[in-house]
Each structure stands twice: as C-alpha cells, then as structure tokens.
Amino acid sequence: MPAETAILLRRVFPVPPDAFDQAGQVSTEVRRLLRGLGAEPEVVRRAGIVCFEGEMNIALYTKGGRIVLVVRPEVVELLFSDRGPGIADIELVKQPGYSTAPDWARELGFGAGMGIPNMEKNSDEFHIFSRVGQGTVIRATIYRGRHDPS
C-alpha cells in the first residue's frame, strides 16, 4: 500500500435515500474532477464505475449517506458511508448474483447482484465494513499511473 501523501483534492457528496433517479450525478462529477486533475483515462473510467455502483447502492438500499473523493498523487480513494441498515453477511454480497433488491428495483435494471463485485473488480484495494443497524463503509482505492485493463 502506498504511503499516505499530500491530498490534491477532497470532496464530499451527500447521497439522499430513494433518489436513485438523480443517482449518477456524483459519478459524473467525480469523473469531471478527475479529468480536470489530469488523471489517466483508465483511472477515470474505473473510478466512474466504482462511484456509480456505490452511489446506486446508497440511493437504493440505505437511509442515505455520503461519498468522499480523495485524490492523492498516487491514488484515488472513494469512501462510501451510509446510515444503515447495514449488511449482515459481507461475503454473500460479494458473490456475483446475490441481491436483496425489491422487484421494483429489478424492473429498472438494478439488483443484478453485480454492484459490489463490479466495485471490487474496478478497485486495486477494496474494503467493506458493516454493522447491522448502523451502516456500511466501503473504501475503494484505485492506483494511478498503471494500466490494469479489467
């Protein structure tokens, strides 16, 4: 893991619950900011996917939360946190195909059970912590300056 270095940019984006129709806005803004900082296209692409999936998860399944973008010279970090309900079995949600999405969300094309696997796949480091009744925190780190076509 790279040593902690100077923060080039830090932004906090609140994500309200049930506002999935607006979701996607944070990932659009994150990609715009990263491009503005001259991040590699592959880093922008991966961060966009991680952010979109995380944003959808907060909007669809939680009581709301926030996304923090931290850009350092070597890494892009995305921190997702929400106010619950929390995830009882983390290993289960990492399984492709597992989903707790209600029917209405599935009809809109969500709930494929690929959100968290997609986030993990597009991150170089991926940590998820959760406590039922409290909430979930995800820390996704993407290394800059390397090409990892996934």
Binding site for another protein (CB under 8 A): 20-25, 27-28, 31, 45, 48-49, 52-53, 56, 108-110, 112-115, 117-118, 121
Which residue number, 14 or 73, has a Cβ lying nearer to another protein?
Answer: 14
Buried b (16+ CB within 10 A) or exposed e, 48-68: bbbbbbbbbbbbbbbebbbbe
Minimum distance from CB of 100 to another protein (Å)? 14
Nearest distance, CB of residue 108 and another protein, angstroms = 6
Q: Which residues of 90-120 are buried (b: 16+ CB within 10 A; e: fewer)?
A: eeebeeeeebebeeebeeeebbebebbbbbb
> Which residue number, 56 or 75, has a Cβ lying nearer to another protein?
56
CB of 96 to another protein, least distance (A): 9
